Amino acid sequence: MKKAKAAIFDAGPGTIRLQSVELPHPQGKEIRVKNAYTTLCSSDLKTYSGDRKEANPTILGHEVCGIIDSFGPDAPRQDENGQVINQGDLVTWAVFASPKDDPQSGAGRPQKAKGLFKYGHERHTSACSWHGGLAEYTILRPDSLVLKVKKEVPLPVAALANCAVATMVGALRIADGLMGRHVLVSGAGTLGLVGCALCKAAGAASITVAEPDEHRRAMSRQFGADKVFAPEQLSGAFDLVFETSGMPSSMENTLETLAIGGKAIWVGAVFPQRKLNLSAEQLIRKLHTIKGLHNYNRADFIQAVGFLEQFHSQFPFEKLIQREFPLSEVTQAFEYATSEKPFRAGVRI
């Protein structure tokens, strides 16, 4: 059997080994994809540093795009948009593959279905592999959400679709309408900047960013922010707050800037942290709503790819990938990303 390379992560920093692994032909409904580009998401970095526990050994990387290499005999020949897919097409796929008959899938929450398969998060074994972006191939399972991506979208930008962009599309969906709203984006990392671009495209009346880092504040203007503040200087009254930093103090402080009837959408806090200190009385008297979102659903994913196809050249998404590495230097990519904290480190496969 043909072999190909996969970056096998064991547990903790410095435990990634590039290994030759047997590469099976796709079976049944599987589709085999030659991975093209993977960006390191902050959850990859938290797993690498040990702040997050995943099954191991594993193949990390879930912000990924690739080129269709071959189809299993029963594999679908259309993507989630109904477009015909062929060998050689650029595609991306949702981070989860969920059983469609699960009640959570039926309720529009496929990311919480039982029996979910999660790319970049599964245990690598001889019987089950090729499920992470930091490898030469991915074998897409049945029930994966696959979308063709126009080849005009640069590979590093296409890679952002299935985690950062789809998550922020989901955040805007649960905000119920951006047109004419005054928006605060808390945190100008990748999620925050993508959020600015989405809010701009969706017709927000104004976009304000709260972010401690000066470079990130400057970047946010290029993604549509009208006003930028260091968090301690923040002022204003906002209809919507998108909290992307996940810092408890940011969630607490930005709630105080919500106007009457405002909504806070929290997407950043996906790691263990202290409990929050909130005033229930203020929440009630000001008619506030707080909503959380983890990952995204099928419609969000479709919209994310459509957004990048339409707007990839209107916002400088490529600048988010601050340094690029080949797969053979994947450990250096993680070391760079954890020490320098770029928006994204990219791995060209």
Write out the residues near Zn ion by the rule CB under 5 A. Answer: 41, 43, 163
Assigned token pair, 145: 């959400």
Q: Which is nearer to Zn ion, 41 or 68 (CB)?
A: 41
Beta-bridge mates of residue 35: 66
Give the residue with the Cβ less far from Zn ion, 85 or 168.
168
Say if residues 29 and 140 touch (Cβ distance below 8 Å): no
Here the tokens at position 264 are 């806070």
Burial class (CB in 10 A: 0-12, 13-18, 19+), 299: middle
Decide whether 69 or 122 has the Cβ nearer to Zn ion: 122
Residue with the CB atom nearest Zn ion in the bound state: 41
Task: List phi, psi (to 5°) of 338.
Answer: -75, -30
Q: Which is nearer to Zn ion, 26 or 133 (CB)?
A: 133
Q: Which is nearer to Zn ion, 163 or 234 (CB)?
A: 163
CB of 74 to Zn ion, least distance (A): 30
Q: How far is the CB of 280 from Zn ion (least distance, A)?
A: 32
Cα(154)–Cα(51) distance, integer angstroms: 31
Nearest C-alpha neighbor of 201 from the set 218, 167, 224:
224
For Zn ion, the closer of residues 166 and 178 by Cβ is 166
What is the amino acid identity at position 83?
Q
Least distance in Å: CB of 41 to Zn ion?
A: 3
Residues 6+ apart with CB under 8 A from 131: 59, 117, 119, 120, 122, 124, 138, 139, 141
Instruction: Determine the Cα–Cα distance for residues 203 and 259; give it in Å rounded to an integer.
Output: 19
Paired residues of 63 in beta bridges: 39
CA gap 170, 300 in Å, rounded: 5
* Min CB(176)–Zn ion separation in Å: 24
Residues 6 or more apart whose Cβ sits within 8 Å of residue 230? 210, 211, 212, 217
Q: What is the closest distance, in whole angstroms, from the C-beta atom of residue 164 to Zn ion in the complex?
A: 7
Closest to Zn ion by CB, 163 or 204: 163
CA separation for the pair 81, 243 (Å, rounded) = 30
Phi and psi of 215, rounded to 5°? -60, -40
Rounded least distance, CB 246 to Zn ion, Å: 13
For 132, counting Cβ atoms within 10 Å of its Cβ (0-12 exposed, 13-18 middle, 19+ buried), the class is buried
**Residue 128 CB, nearest distance to Zn ion (Å)?**
21
If the CB atoms of residues 296 and 325 are measured against Zn ion, the closer one turns out to be 296
